[in-house]
Amino acid sequence: MSTRTFKIFRGDKEGGKDVDYNVEVEEGMVVLDAVHQIQRTQAGDLACRWNCKAAKCGSCSAEVNGKPRLMCKTRLDDFPEGETISVHPIKAFPIIRDLVTDVSWNYEVNKKIPPFTPRKDANWVMYQEDMDRVQEFRKCIECFLCQDVCHVLRNHDKKDQFYGPRFMVRVASLEMHPLDGLDRTKLLKNEGGIGLCNITKCCTEVCPEDIHITDNAIIPLKERVVDQFYDPVQMIWRALTGGNDGNKNPGLQQKD
């Protein structure tokens, strides 16, 4: 058994500072174990979120040595022996206390996305090939690490203009569901702000569920937006027929 030093942010929206804690380290330990040990033995009030300890619930997101990670999945032996490990709250969201941030904005965004709405003729026969694509998106554990790294949200704080990668994944799971009957393309283009994504792929890199956020969700969705709004043939067609724009409910048109 050896000891290791952790630099953990302690504070709230009024401010705070990094505090050093020495932790007895066992084989196979993860960062969340260290945080729990500190709670038990040195700082009973150290605030952090966790539930599953198995990378399945997405509660324990934090920035470990500056990198957005799940604390329960980040092993101490991934870091050189003796190196101090810093643990900070995720930066894209307002801090509540210590490692806990206010992620409620994400829940508000989700409410704006029209839910799964089956086609009227749905017969509920679906094949695995079609499911595979959707199931990839449904693996999302809502850790919001992708939201945390996306520069549109993190550096430019455009939360009023862009839903962020997590909700591109959510929309993709609905749009690519073989039996869904809504078209959310207009929503993506307008309120969703898909145009603000410039495909840097940072979100894909941090996703603990290995969802190919950019390649499989955002790029195909962008293509749909282009097809629908910028394709000259389609635009003429819409002008002639009155198209989708007659619908007073943006993004809620029925698919053909």
Which residues here bind other proteins, judged by CB under 8 A? 12, 26-30, 32-33, 39-41, 43-59, 73, 75, 96-98, 100, 102-104, 107, 110-111, 114-116, 118, 124-128, 131, 134-135, 138-142, 173-174, 177, 180
Which positions touch ligand FES (CB under 6 A)? 50-53, 55-60, 70, 72
SS3 207: coil
Instruction: Report the half-sphere exposure of 53 (CA within 13 A, side-chain side).
Output: 7
Q: Does 142 bind ligand SF4 (CB under 6 A)?
A: yes
- Least CB distance to ligand SF4 at residue 205 (A): 9
Nearer to ligand FES, 58 or 192 (CB): 58
Q: Segment contacting ligand SF4 (CB under 6 A): 45-53, 113-121, 124-132, 135-143?
A: 135-143
H or E stretch at 104: helix 104-112
Annotate each residue in 58-87 with x if it binds ligand SF4 (CB under 6 A) or - if it does not, as one string: x-----------------------------
H or E stretch at 61: strand 61-64
* Beta-sheet strands, E only, within the chain: 2-12, 15-25, 61-64, 67-70, 85-88, 95-97, 100-101, 182-183, 253-254
Tell me if 6 sits within 8 A of 23, measured CB to CB.
yes
C-alpha span between 183 and 254 (Å, rounded): 6
Choose from ligand FES, ligand SF4, other proteins, none: what does 27 bind? Cβ within 5-8 Å by kind.
Answer: other proteins
Q: Does 202 bind ligand SF4 (CB under 6 A)?
A: yes
Nearer to other proteins, 30 or 194 (CB): 30
- Least CB distance to other proteins at residue 123 (A): 9
C-alpha span between 91 and 89 (Å, rounded): 6
Beta strands 95-97; 253-254: pairing state: unpaired
- Least CB distance to ligand SF4 at residue 192 (A): 11
For residue 3, the cross-strand partners are 24
| CA-closest candidate to residue 97, choices 19, 154, 13 | 13
Instruction: Report the half-sphere exposure of 240 (CA within 13 A, side-chain side).
Output: 6
Tell me if 89 sits within 8 A of 98, measured CB to CB.
yes
Choose from ligand FES, other proteins, ligand SF4, none: what does 187 bind? Cβ within 5-8 Å by kind.
Answer: none
- Least CB distance to ligand SF4 at residue 30 (A): 17
Per CB under 6 A, the list member of 85, 103, 169, 188 interacting with ligand SF4 is 169
C-alpha span between 9 and 15 (Å, rounded): 10
Size (the chain), residues? 256
Per CB under 6 A, the list member of 200, 231, 254, 255 interacting with ligand SF4 is 200
Footprint of ligand SF4 (CB under 6 A): 58, 140-146, 149-152, 165-166, 169, 197-203, 206-209, 211, 213-214, 218
